């Protein structure tokens, strides 16, 4: 007990919790921005066959096929903004490409007859997308979106490499203060447990959503 008390003092716990707060804040902002930009990218790539669609495809494939840590380092050292914002920016531009492909999958899952039915009722392309297709798309991709949220939470741990004091960064700072390897590994195990609890909870939501979607209910065409 004394051994644990020497590690998890009140100051150390507050220090770690402040890092956890930073981690969750970065994750929430990243997911929100990435979903917005990813939706735009997915729509452009899926429905624009011109230069805009090609540029969206290049963006998506570039970030999907390169390491996240590369962009974290590049943005941190090449873009003159504070570390906290560079972390959000790097995660957002990377995750937006992943979100775009998730959105594209949801769009392609919407039956093509939805467009024909909407056009027959006098809807334009934009109205059909915003009122009929996109709502169905997001309903289809909820499990995939939640899975990506889990990935984003884990990916924030890379930010300590550029001195951003998130949960992992704070933990690494504390580890440097301990002389005993037993203390270091105990703290490391505690950090891993916190990540596990957060992501296991989110995984439970994903499994629940998947079971709900696979409960045997057939998709109903939107009425227009």
d(CA 68, CA 46): 24
* pLDDT value of position 202: 85
Per the model's pLDDT, the better-predicted residue between 108 and 101 turns out to be: 101
Q: What is the mean pLDDT of residues 50-73?
A: 93
- 217 pLDDT above the threshold of 60: no
- Percentage, residues of the chain above pLDDT 70: 92
Full DSSP string of 41-110: HHHHHHH--SHHHHHHHHHHHHHHTS-HHHHHHHHHHHS-S-HHHHHHHHHHHHHHHHHHHHHHHHHHHS
- Percentage, residues of the chain above pLDDT 90: 45
* pLDDT value of position 177: 78
Q: How do the domains of the chain map onto residue ranges?
A: 2-213
- 220 pLDDT above the threshold of 90: no
* pLDDT value of position 49: 86
Between the alpha carbon of residue 165 and those of residues 13, 41, 99, 197, the distances in Å are: 14, 31, 26, 20
* pLDDT value of position 32: 95
For the stretch 19-33, pLDDT in tens is 999 999 999 999 999
For the stretch 124-171, pLDDT in tens is 878 888 888 888 888 888 888 888 999 999 999 999 888 888 999 888
Cα–Cα nearest to 84, from 4, 190, 163: 163
- 40 pLDDT above the threshold of 90: yes
* Residue 149 tokens, joined: 């949220």
Average pLDDT value for the chain: 86
Spatial contact of 171 and 187, defined as CB atoms under 8 Å apart? yes
Superfamily of domain 2-213: MetI-like (1.10.3720.10)
């Amino acid at each position: 007990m004394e051994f644990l008390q020497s590690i998890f003092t009140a100051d150390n716990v507050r220090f770690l919790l402040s890092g956890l707060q930073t981690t969750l804040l970065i994750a929430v902002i990243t997911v929100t921005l990435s979903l917005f930009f990813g939706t735009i990218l997915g729509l452009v790539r899926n429905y624009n066959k011109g230069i805009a669609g090609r540029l969206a495809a290049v963006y998506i494939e570039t970030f999907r096929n390169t390491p996240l840590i590369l962009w974290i380092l590049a943005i941190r050292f090449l873009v003159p903004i504070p570390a906290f914002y560079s972390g959000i920016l790097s995660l957002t531009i990377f995750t937006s490409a992943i979100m775009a492909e998730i959105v594209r999958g949801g769009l392609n899952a919407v039956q093509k007859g939805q467009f024909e039915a909407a056009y027959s009722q006098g809807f334009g392309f934009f109205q059909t997308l915003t009122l009929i297709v996109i709502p169905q798309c997001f309903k289809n991709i909820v499990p995939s979106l939640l899975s990506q949220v889990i990935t984003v939470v884990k990916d924030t741990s890379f930010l300590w490499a550029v001195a951003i004091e998130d949960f992992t960064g704070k933990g690494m700072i504390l580890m440097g203060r301990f002389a005993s390897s037993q203390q270091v590994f105990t703290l490391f195990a505690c950090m891993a447990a916190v990540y596990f609890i957060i992501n296991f909870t989110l995984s439970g939501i994903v499994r629940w959503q998947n079971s709900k979607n696979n409960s045997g209910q057939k998709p109903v065409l939107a009425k227009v």
